[in-house]
Structure 1
Amino acid sequence: MTQFLVIYKAAASAAPEAPEDQQAAMAAWGAWMEKVGTHLADPGNPIGKSWTVTASGAAPGGNALPIMGYTILEADSIEAACQLVEGNPMLSDPLAEIEVAPIVPIEM
């Protein structure tokens, strides 16, 4: 099986603020993780505001949709990994995006 990096992108305003909304969001994430089951290699974490580093230095950066978090899944193909992402709670925001990319091991 191959590991896939799942990157969640959404506006910061998409995060629930009210405690009951946060609880509902966590329940939805728990249900999705249970559905994914043994394909969940690392549930991941939320990610704070990023900076961009170039040859000129570092500065607060980010795209129109900042990266909000990540998960690592295991699947036989990228198509299978994308199917596992279907129903992910992040997709309840119509402006959110989820990117799925294979993690390519480097042999030393």
Structure 2
Amino acid sequence: LREAIELAAVEGGLHYTITEDTNSDPRYCADWIKAIMHEESSKLGASVRELMSGPFHDALALSYVCDYGMIFVRCKDGISHNPQEYAAYEDIALGTELLYKTVLRMSTNQ
């Protein structure tokens, strides 16, 4: 990427600066929360996968003081964080139901 930027700058007679604005150690979802989510999604008949995600705008700040887990809802064509993002009501309902079941289990220690 740096080489491509350098080439574009040279070809366009441009000057640029690259700075690092964030550098955080990896943060991981709590295994015990993931286990609950897997169990509850199985009960709902949902086929789920674990995804690698950087929680920079979601859970990063909280991750330093408490455990966390994340539920992702399937989006059309995989487009997320974009005005074209679309999720079917059924997928939103499934994600909401999984969230409810997970929080219920967490709050009742079951």
TM-score (norm 2): 0.31
Q: Which has the larger radius of gyration?
A: 2
Point out the structure with the larger strand share. 1
Point out the structure with the larger helix share. 2
